[in-house]
Structure 1
């Protein structure tokens, strides 16, 4: 991962290519969750993860709409609603599993409004 370090338990329990598969949204959420004792500027998050600042800002705005991050200009932090965060993560993982099983096009036909709210 671009942030330079992960928890050793996460490393030990991960599949060989799990970290390459993480999309930018997941990387941002994981970064904020691991660093939940601080609030961050979008540019700093982008720098830490090796991402474009504008892309990070857009992702953070979508995460805010879903209640997964908090924002007080110019800072961003992970939600303090851990239950909501865990629920969104579980739904995300279920979506990935379904995508692998059915394929992206078929899955789009099967998606519910609730899945679209949390993706």
Structure 2
């Protein structure tokens, strides 16, 4: 089957936004969250997601600074602070909505204290 198609049952059962392109950061967070019973090496995450290892390492470091992942060399895991993860997701969703509505150039004007804390 072509990579440009999916099974109609998969299509029917999917959420409306399930097939949208995700950023590398989103893909990494979703991967770690989906596999929260394991800790992973950056190279393995990169291989699984088809990304560059150095890019994955840089993204993981930024996520660690924000408290969204845990790190014990050489392994990475999703945070065990579910509220922080949910807050970051909500903030990300609001950011995307604002970007769609107002455009990127006006987002700094809309930034809130909550955004500053998570960043």
1:46-102 Cα deviation digits (max 9, x unpaired): 111111100100000010011100000000000011111001000000000000000
What residue in structure 2 maps to residue 13 of structure 1?
Answer: 15
Distance 1:16 1:71, change over 3 A: closer
With structure 2 as the length reference, what TM-score do the two structures score? 0.82
Distance 1:116 1:47, change over 3 A: farther
Query: How many pairs does the alignment contain?
Result: 109
1:34-56 Cα deviation digits (max 9, x unpaired): 00000000000011111110010
Distance 1:56 1:117, change over 3 A: farther
> Which of the two has higher C-alpha Rg?
2
Residue segments in structure 2 that go unaligned for 5+ positions in a row: 1-9
* Cα offset, 1:105, TM superposition: 0.6
What residue in structure 1 maps to residue 43 of structure 2?
Answer: 43
* Cα offset, 1:17, TM superposition: 4.5
For 1:29, what is the secondary structure of its paired residue? Answer: helix
Shifted more, 39-48 versus 105-114: the winner is 105-114
What residue in structure 2 maps to residue 85 of structure 1?
Answer: 85
Distance 1:43 1:78, change over 3 A: same
Residue segments in structure 1 that go unaligned for 5+ positions in a row: 1-7
CA distance in 1, matches of 2:115, 2:19: 25
